Amino acid sequence: DLKEVLSANWEAPSNIALVKYWGKHEVQLPANPSISFTLSKSKTITNVTAKKTDHGFTVLYDGKEKSDFAPKIKAYFQRVKDYCPWLTHYHFTIDTHNTFPHSSGIASSASSMAALSSCLMDMESQHSGKPIDFEKTSFLARLGSGSASRSIKGEVVVWGSHAQFDSSNDYYGIDVSDILHENFKGYQDVILLVDKGKKTVSSTAGHELMNGHAFAKARFQQAHDNITQLKEILEAGDQEAFIKIVESEALTLHAMMMTSHPYYILMRPNTLAIIEEIWKFRKETDVPVCFTLDAGANVHMLYPKNHKDQVDKLINSKLAQYCENEQYICDEIGNGAKSL
């Protein structure tokens, strides 16, 4: 018994991987497990209205029709409908916008796919009368973008089967926030926007490069080992050890791209300048600040909140000048998707 009209309104955040997902097989199944901090301010807000009629969808960005999102959404619906057969009876109007600048070089795929999947699962619960199934929400989000599975629930999320996390699996992310020591609560993430242009390599093409990569096997094993270590580090509150794993993961991700065929350098000179400033600052002040990177030139700077004043000074005096139009985003650990 399907309702004539359904609607849902959700926001979902981006996330930053500490141990990176890079390489996939079949339908968005990861070659190795990954673990991330959920963000709070960098998010997508999505309103979906569904009318019972022929199946289809219209995508709007901030109320204006946006046809270039259509192919991704179409592929997503194609995958999702096997798990949500009811949606073939509806036309969806999807109105979405991001809190971060549209072309900031920040991937919106994690937050946007998490927000859209949350709306669909909200609608499914309106039909069934059952509570929203967050595992299935993460499962659907994964079908849109692998890392989106880590943007649904919890401050720290593991996606992909790993020996140290009992219910971890390749199909959806699990909330492991209970491992977080007091020292890591409220961690800050400043996203320094070195290059706001479109990515040179799409993440789909990037994952593809790990097929037949000379170092693939060693890299996938290393990700398992790094998660084992990071679990202990997050439990013990060891910020020095955290820095070593997180920075090494970022450089390894980029090393994989530099050593694939074709090969890419996704850092820019200003990426390196920022990394050097962070290292210098850490040496001089002993503030446990570190960097991580995703598959682009922007730098994420992670640090404990009690050092905010000192780090703000570092940004203003040194780091902002290396950012495009001096733009950066101050974010922090958050909790996941919310109904509005």
**Which positions touch ligand PMV (CB under 6 A)?**
17, 20-22, 34, 107, 109, 145-147, 203, 253, 294-295
Minimum distance of ligand PMV from residue 30's CB (angstroms):
8
Of the two residues 39 and 311, which places its CB atom closer to ligand PMV in the complex?
A: 39
Of the two residues 9 and 164, which places its CB atom closer to ligand PMV in the complex?
A: 164
Minimum distance of ligand PMV from residue 203's CB (angstroms):
3
Minimum distance of ligand PMV from residue 164's CB (angstroms):
18
Which residue, among 66, 35, 36, 60, has the nearest Cα to 48 in the 3D structure? 60
CA distance 9 to 15: 20
Ranges of H-type helices in 160-214: 203-208
Minimum distance of ligand PMV from residue 44's CB (angstroms):
14
Which residue, among 56, 39, 52, 49, has the nearest Cα to 10 in the 3D structure? 49
Ranges of H-type helices in the chain: 70-80, 109-128, 134-144, 203-208, 216-236, 239-258, 269-285, 308-314
Of the two residues 86 and 220, which places its CB atom closer to ligand PMV in the complex?
A: 220
Minimum distance of ligand PMV from residue 145's CB (angstroms):
4
Of the two residues 91 and 224, which places its CB atom closer to ligand PMV in the complex?
A: 224
Of the two residues 90 and 165, which places its CB atom closer to ligand PMV in the complex?
A: 165
Which residue, among 68, 80, 192, 85, has the nearest Cα to 128 in the 3D structure? 85
C-alpha distances in angstroms, 68 versus 65, 87, 104? 9, 22, 17
Minimum distance of ligand PMV from residue 75's CB (angstroms):
13
The pair of structure tokens assigned to 55 is 């199946």
CA distance 302 to 324: 20
Of the two residues 71 and 129, which places its CB atom closer to ligand PMV in the complex?
A: 71
Q: Return all residues near 82 (Cβ < 8 A) that are at least 6 apart.
A: none
